[in-house]
Amino acid sequence: MTHRVYLIDDDEAVREALALLLGTYGIGVETFGDPAVFLAHVDESKPGCLVMDLRMPLVSGLQLHQKLAERGITWPTIMITGHGDVAACRRAFKAGIQDFLTKPVDGEVLVEALHQAFASLDTWLERRDARALLGTLTEREREVLDMVARGWASKEIAAALDLSARTIDAHRANIAEKLGTSSVAEQVRLALMDAPSR
């Protein structure tokens, strides 16, 4: 899977150097010199990993991260800075930043951090897709699925909901069709992926 990387840094030399460096590892990068321009152009349908400078004029890296979060964009983020200190590092991690690197950025360290960010992004995408599938279920179907995820048999679910076993079987058939799988294990995995937000 090809992952997108968005690099936001007001220093043109840094942008060019990092884009060139990552290119040698086969990692494509879109660069932005102005956080406001990135905010205006960021496309929520094209998720990627973010590499951003901590200190930029007008909008800092942490402020940009916050503005993105307010829009529901919580992609893995690596913060880079030439002015790293413990307090800034702590603020970054508390804000949900995945990694914090100091300039000049070591190429291998950045690539390793990005590979970890890509793994996080894959999980994020999987969760997003699971939520989209689960969002197609009716309230009753979701209730039935949650009971299936707790290990209940159809007869137990029917008794608990005061419905016939045939009705429960019909709900389960609808669930399988909407989720695209008749595997109970896969249905449960999808349900559990959405559990933290429920």
Print the domain residue range for 92. Answer: 5-127
Question: How many independent structural domains does the chain possess?
Answer: 2
Are 105 and 146 members of one domain?
Answer: no
Indicate the residue among 103, 127, 151 that finishes a domain: 127
Assign 51 a pLDDT band (cuts: 50, 70, 90): very high
Are 19 and 91 members of one domain?
Answer: yes
Are 158 and 92 members of one domain?
Answer: no
Tokens in use for 128? 């997003």
On the question of pLDDT at 175 being above 80, the answer is yes
CATH of the domain at 32: 3.40.50.2300
CA pair distance 112, 110, nearest whole angstrom: 5
What is the 8-class DSSP label of residue 196? G
Residue-level pLDDT at 91? 82
Are 143 and 111 members of one domain?
Answer: no
Residue-level pLDDT at 88? 79
Assign 90 a pLDDT band (cuts: 50, 70, 90): confident
Which tens digits make up the pLDDT trace of 129-151? 999 999 999 999 999 999 999 99
Q: Which distant-in-sequence residues (6+ apart) come within 8 Å of 122 by Cβ? A: 1
Indicate the residue among 110, 127, 144 that finishes a domain: 127
CATH of the domain at 158: 1.10.10.10
Residue-level pLDDT at 1? 58
Are 88 and 42 members of one domain?
Answer: yes
Are 82 and 152 members of one domain?
Answer: no
Give, in order, the Cα–Cα distances in Å from 69 to each of 15, 78, 88, 106, 122: 23, 14, 19, 28, 18
Q: Which distant-in-sequence residues (6+ apart) come within 8 Å of 41 by Cβ? A: 32
Are 95 and 29 members of one domain?
Answer: yes
Residue-level pLDDT at 197? 43
Does residue 104 have a cis bond before it (omega within 30 degrees)? yes
Are 19 and 36 members of one domain?
Answer: yes
Are 153 and 175 members of one domain?
Answer: yes
For the segment 63-68, the average pLDDT, to the nearest whole number, is 94
Q: Could you give the strand order of the β-sheet that contains 77-81, starting from the edge strand earlier in sequence?
A: 29-32, 5-8, 49-53, 77-81, 99-102
Are 153 and 106 members of one domain?
Answer: no
More confident residue, 92 or 75: 75
